[in-house]
Amino acid sequence: MIIAEQPQDEMACRLGADLEGSFEGMMAVYQDRLFAFALRLSGNPQDAEEIVQDAFVRSYRALSGYPAERIAGLALRPWLYKITLNVFRNRARRKIPPVDSLDAWAEDGIRPEPSAPEGDRPDAEAARAEQRRELGAYVAALPGRYRAAVVLRHVAGLPYAEIAAVLGQAEGTAKSNVHRGIQQLRRSMPAQDSIER
């Protein structure tokens, strides 16, 4: 894996010093963002949970085979995102369109009908949640090569150097994939005002 060494990664140092004792703490730090990553890739919470679990199990097995210095020198964040992405891709290859995922989309309603009676305005929080579900569905529908790039950049907030490492691409390629992904995302959203307001 071509990931620059970052000896400053404090969590990696702790894992190197005591893998068994620090692994749970590492998961506590990373589980929400890896779950968000897996959720936006798969579009489905059940799949995302299994992906993150599997990614952690694989990462533990990999780490327990590494010497301590190698663990301590690991750029942990891109390494974990990369494992998560690999798990997602392996599953996606195995299983043809996940039924759960389609159900979840249908439930979320890509273009929901206003269910509340006239004059009974849903509160702002519910509206925002609905908007997030909608956008999440559009993101999950992006072609794979753009989806991962867009999510890593704009949901996970990773710098391009790390995105390039996760995707195994040159930085320029990663940038261009993010850019095209955003273009496509905008094109795919028919009611932009629902996002723009």
Partner 1 sequence: METWEMNDFGELPLLQGELAALADVRAPASVIPAVMAGVGLGDGYFAAPSPIGRIFVAYNDKGVSAVSPVGDRSRFETEFQTRTGRRAYPVEVPAGSLARAVEARLGGRRVKMLFDLRGLSDFEQAVLRKALEIPRGEVRPYAWIAAEIGHPRAVRAAGTALAHNPVPLLIPCHRVVRSDGRTGNYALGAEAKRAILQAEGARPDELDRLAAAGLRYYGSNTTRIFCYPTCGHAQRISAGRRVAFKSGAEAAAAGYRACRVCRPAEAVA
Minimum CB distance to partner 1 smaller for 7 or for 183? 183
Contact range with partner 1 by CB under 8 A, out of 39-47, 67-75, 117-125, 163-171: 39-47
SS3 190: coil
Q: Which of 13, 23, 169, 171 is close enough to bind partner 1 by CB under 8 A?
A: 23
Contact range with partner 1 by CB under 8 A, out of 71-79, 83-91, 106-114, 175-183: 175-183
What count of Cα atoms within 13 Å lies in the side-chain half-sphere of residue 114?
Answer: 10
- Dihedral angle computed from the Cα positions of residues 95, 136, 164 and 183, in that order, rounded to the nearest 10 degrees: 110
Q: Residue-wise over 79-109: b if at least 16 C-beta within 10 A, else e?
A: bbbbbbbebbeebbeeeeebeebeebbeebe
Q: Which of 56, 81, 88, 146 is close enough to bind partner 1 by CB under 8 A?
A: 56
Q: Is 195 in the site for partner 1 (CB under 8 A)?
A: yes
Q: Is 36 in the site for partner 1 (CB under 8 A)?
A: yes
Q: Is 188 in the site for partner 1 (CB under 8 A)?
A: no
Minimum CB distance to partner 1 smaller for 59 or for 72? 59
Q: Tell me if 83 sits within 8 A of 58, measured CB to CB.
A: yes
Number of residues that bind partner 1 (CB under 8 A): 43
**Count of H helices and E strands in the chain?**
11, 0
Q: Is 90 in the site for partner 1 (CB under 8 A)?
A: no
> What is 35-92 written as a DSSP string?
HHHHHHHHS-HHHHHHHHHHHHHHHHHHHHTS-HHHHHT--HHHHHHHHHHHHHHHHH
Q: Tell me if 30 sits within 8 A of 80, measured CB to CB.
A: yes
Contact range with partner 1 by CB under 8 A, out of 5-13, 74-82, 119-127, 133-141: 133-141
Q: Which residues bind partner 1 (CB under 8 A)?
A: 20, 23-24, 27-28, 31-36, 39-40, 45, 49, 52-53, 56-57, 60-61, 128, 131-132, 135-136, 139, 150-151, 154-157, 178-179, 182-183, 185-186, 192, 195-197
